Amino acid sequence: MFHATENLGVYPGMRYGCAKCALDLGPLSHNYKEYCIRNVLPIEASNPIVGDPKRFIDPLPQFRQFCCPGCGLAIENEIALADDPLVRDVEILSRPD
């Protein structure tokens, strides 16, 4: 296994998995976030200083957390407008040498 990120591993067979419990998180050709538990929270949950966004903007931002379905480890977070698609933040194409 090599680490794609702190909590996302790349396992034999070129598949993503949790770096802690090794639960499969899909093939490299997919967005691993689709295989995670998704926790969608209001933006105010992202930091205690963040207040009501409606004071300044009309669109609704969210704080999205992507956690391992096996052990609950937070793999990644995302800040997004409600209608925006998931970011495919990591797309590994090959193993490191």
Partner 1 sequence: MNAPLKKLSELAGVVFDGKRTGYVPPKQLTISRKLRLHQASKKTIDPVTFEVVRHALWNVNEEHGATIQRLSGSPVAMYALDLNPSILTADAEFVYFGPYMQYMSGVTDTQVKWTLENRSDNPGIADGDMFLANDPWVGAAHQMDVMLLCPVFWQGELFCWVTNCLHQYDIGGITPGSFCPSARDAFDEGILIPPIKIVEKNEIRRDIEELYLRASRKPPAVALDFRAQLAGNTTARDRILSLVKRYGADTVKGVMKKIIDDGERAFLKKLARLPDGVWRDRTYVECCRPGDRGVHRVWLTLRKVGKKMVFENEGTDPQAGGINATYSGWRGAIMVALNELMCWEQYYAVGGALRHVEFNPTPGTLNCADFPASVSTAPVQCMEISLYPAYNVLSKMLYPDPELRRDAMCIGGTSQWPATIFRGIDQWGERYGYLLVDPIGGAIGAFSHADGISTGGQARTPICKLPNVEHTEQSFPVLFLYRKEITDSGGAGKFRGGLSAESCFIPHGTDRITHDTLSSGNAIPTSTGMMGGYPGAVNRYRFLRNSDIQERMTASNLVGDIDELKGTPETLQLRQQDFSQCPSDVYAVLWTAAGGFGDPLERDPAKVEADVANADVSEKAALEIYGVVLGDARGT
- For residue 40, give the nearest of 69, 64, 66, 60 by alpha carbon: 64
Q: Which residue has the tokens 């194409």?
A: 93
79 residue type, one letter: I
Q: Which residue has the tokens 């590994």?
A: 92
31 residue type, one letter: N
- For the CB of residue 11, give the shortest distance to partner 1 in the complex, in Å: 13
Figure out which of the listed residues 18, 25, 36, 75 binds partner 1, where binding follows CB under 8 A. Answer: 75
Site string for partner 1, 17-56 (x = CB under 8 A): --------------------------x--xxxxxx-x-xx
The residues of the shown chain that bind partner 1, judged by CB under 8 A, are 2-8, 10, 43, 46-51, 53, 55-59, 61, 72-77, 79-81, 84, 87-97
